[in-house]
Chain A
């Protein structure tokens, strides 16, 4: 057998010869070559108390599930938390994290997107004020070790066979979803057991968790026991959609309601904002190409901006009080599957003070993804 046929990358497990490179006659893997950087040190961590600091108490369902996650972890079972958007998934794992820190185990919390990592960093630090929470993401890799390592899935390669407890959130999100290298890096970083969380797990994930040694925990209602707002579909030609968006934005501005307008692509976010901003003041646009998006997002949260035109960067992990959501060109099937639509709709009504809101999908036609998203939300609301 030649080198090309027999080489399997020791890091990502890739054996496809098209990803094989030769340097000085030696084979190397080109699939995971860009994952290059320092690895975490392997100093053993010592048991330390991890008192939880929460300003609110968990609901009955949350407490039950939190207990079950702890039991699963103790008996070596991997858990999948399948809970609707706004159910309070993050709080469910605080218990098991506290337990693992108290036992001196290595704890990791991985997410696909850096914006969400930054957002969650503050929440985790507030919940564990006496422990060291470190955030690790691209260009922010100064400290790699802590009691809880919060990281993007792209940084998992720094931790081979490291985590005794690994929480994986938003597993169905880009870029983790369907990425073979990241999946390999996830499995490689795992030493103990994991807890996966998602509002919209793929059928493959669900199938995987029906095997022995896995457990699916479902939470179909939000912690405040109010239904998830059902999206409304407005069918309009694409060039007329901005007009209705402008009209709605002005309405929301009068009622002092913040609003997200989602667009399928970066170019469309800029185009739409140029048009909309002529008639609706106090807004901005964000996308992954803008480095200063943190500023826009924080001034939006402070209420200085009334609306944001955004790509899918703000599709997940964002909680803003009394938010309204509009999705421009939501019939773009290449970008918007039902999971993405459910996630965007799930931004609305997440706070118990404002459990209601409006979600509007603008499209030229009704797509299958829209229908199944609405069906899924209606199904979950049926559990109330």
Chain B
């Protein structure tokens, strides 16, 4: 028995999840209310996977996690998928999306690193963001220039490694593209992308992903 990190109610993990051992920090009801969906997408020929549609519950939760600094929400996003993701991405090293250091200090943690700690894969902080730019505030064209604000960390090598680029959200894909380009330039053997949330695109309709 444990308490769910979202609804604070007492629960026990579903039996199938208990098979893989370990504790899960959220109850099955809350997990399903986030509408998990494991689907793939392609970005510049790189295979990507996302775990949730970016719907209102996910948005609210992410706001609580990132903007309010509720670090306890870090492990909830991947808790149920972790066993299978560890299998899929066996042998990969994680490269978290860069975030502006000063912001992490204010928040008290790096939200991407914290979120993907749930996976038992090594993390390499290979890329740095050198300016405080927020993609959510920018238009499509401006987003594509994110590469100018990124820098490779000296002394880090990913040569001949399988790397998995991870981020919380992938909207226009600009950050992911720019980072994957950097990884490829530094000799990564194979690159894949894993993101937590992806917008639900309706046909002929542009989704506005303004921050809450």
Residues of A within 8 A of B (CB): 18-19, 21-24, 30, 33-34, 36
- Nearest-neighbor residue (CB-CB) of B67 within chain A: A36
* B8 near A33: Cβ-Cβ < 8 Å: no
Which of B3, B68, B109 is close to A33, meaning CB atoms less than 8 Å apart? Answer: B68
* A23 near B108: Cβ-Cβ < 8 Å: yes
* B72 near A18: Cβ-Cβ < 8 Å: no
* A23 near B69: Cβ-Cβ < 8 Å: yes
* A23 near B8: Cβ-Cβ < 8 Å: no
Find chain B residues with CB under 8 A from A34 CB.
Answer: 64, 68, 70
Which of A19, A23, A30, A36 is close to B109, meaning CB atoms less than 8 Å apart? Answer: A23
Is B34 an interface residue, CB under 8 A from the partner? no
* B64 near A21: Cβ-Cβ < 8 Å: no
With known contacts A18-B3, A18-B8, A23–B68 Cβ distance under 8 A: no
- Nearest-neighbor residue (CB-CB) of A31 within chain B: B8
> Which residues of B27-79 have CB atoms within 8 Å of chain A's CB atoms?
64, 67-72
With known contacts A19-B8, A23-B109, A33–B64 Cβ distance under 8 A: yes
Among B64, B72, B109, residue most surrounded by chain A Cβ atoms (within 10 Å): B72
Q: List 25 contacting pairs A-B, 8 Å CB cutoff, sorted by A.
A: A18-B3, A18-B8, A19-B8, A21-B70, A21-B71, A21-B72, A22-B71, A22-B72, A23-B69, A23-B71, A23-B108, A23-B109, A24-B108, A24-B109, A30-B70, A30-B72, A33-B64, A33-B68, A33-B69, A33-B70, A34-B64, A34-B68, A34-B70, A36-B67, A36-B68
B210 to chain A, nearest CB (A): 11
Find chain B residues with CB under 8 A from A36 CB.
Answer: 67-68
Find chain A residues with CB under 8 A from B70 CB.
Answer: 21, 30, 33-34
Q: For the complex, count residues of B whose C-beta is within 8 A of A.
A: 11
Besides A21-B71, A21-B72, A36-B67, 4 other CB < 8 A contacts?
A22-B72, A23-B69, A33-B64, A34-B68
- Nearest-neighbor residue (CB-CB) of B4 within chain A: A18
**Measured CA separation A22–B73 after assembly (Å):** 11
Find chain B residues with CB under 8 A from A21 CB.
Answer: 70-72
Give 8 nearest A-B pairs by CB, closest first.
Answer: A21-B72, A18-B3, A23-B71, A33-B68, A36-B68, A33-B70, A23-B108, A34-B68
**Measured CA separation A18–B64 after assembly (Å):** 17
- Nearest-neighbor residue (CB-CB) of A20 within chain B: B72
Find chain A residues with CB under 8 A from B108 CB.
Answer: 23-24
B74 to chain A, nearest CB (A): 10
**Measured CA separation A24–B71 after assembly (Å):** 9
Among B67, B70, B108, B109, residue most surrounded by chain A Cβ atoms (within 10 Å): B70
A219 to chain B, nearest CB (A): 40
User: What 1/0 mask marks residues of chain B from 1 to 28 whose CB sits below 8 Å from any chain A CB?
Assistant: 0010000100000000000000000000
Find chain A residues with CB under 8 A from B64 CB.
Answer: 33-34
B204 to chain A, nearest CB (A): 21
**Measured CA separation A207–B158 after assembly (Å):** 69
- Nearest-neighbor residue (CB-CB) of A36 within chain B: B68
- Nearest-neighbor residue (CB-CB) of B71 within chain A: A23
A154 to chain B, nearest CB (A): 14
B53 to chain A, nearest CB (A): 17
B1 to chain A, nearest CB (A): 11
**Measured CA separation A18–B1 after assembly (Å):** 12
Find chain B residues with CB under 8 A from A18 CB.
Answer: 3, 8
Find chain A residues with CB under 8 A from B68 CB.
Answer: 33-34, 36
**Measured CA separation A23–B71 after assembly (Å):** 6
**Measured CA separation A30–B67 after assembly (Å):** 13
Find chain A residues with CB under 8 A from B72 CB.
Answer: 21-22, 30
A217 to chain B, nearest CB (A): 38
Find chain A residues with CB under 8 A from B109 CB.
Answer: 23-24
Find chain B residues with CB under 8 A from A19 CB.
Answer: 8
- Nearest-neighbor residue (CB-CB) of A289 within chain B: B56
**Measured CA separation A256–B108 after assembly (Å):** 60
Find chain A residues with CB under 8 A from B3 CB.
Answer: 18
Find chain B residues with CB under 8 A from A33 CB.
Answer: 64, 68-70
B73 to chain A, nearest CB (A): 9
Find chain A residues with CB under 8 A from B67 CB.
Answer: 36
**Measured CA separation A112–B69 after assembly (Å):** 26
User: What 1/0 mask marks residues of chain B from 101 to 132 whose CB sits below 8 Å from any chain A CB?
Assistant: 00000001100000000000000000000000
**Measured CA separation A121–B133 after assembly (Å):** 37
**Measured CA separation A33–B108 after assembly (Å):** 14
**Measured CA separation A24–B105 after assembly (Å):** 12
B83 to chain A, nearest CB (A): 25
A373 to chain B, nearest CB (A): 31
**Measured CA separation A63–B87 after assembly (Å):** 75
- Nearest-neighbor residue (CB-CB) of B64 within chain A: A34
**Measured CA separation A262–B66 after assembly (Å):** 37
**Measured CA separation A21–B72 after assembly (Å):** 6
**Measured CA separation A371–B64 after assembly (Å):** 42
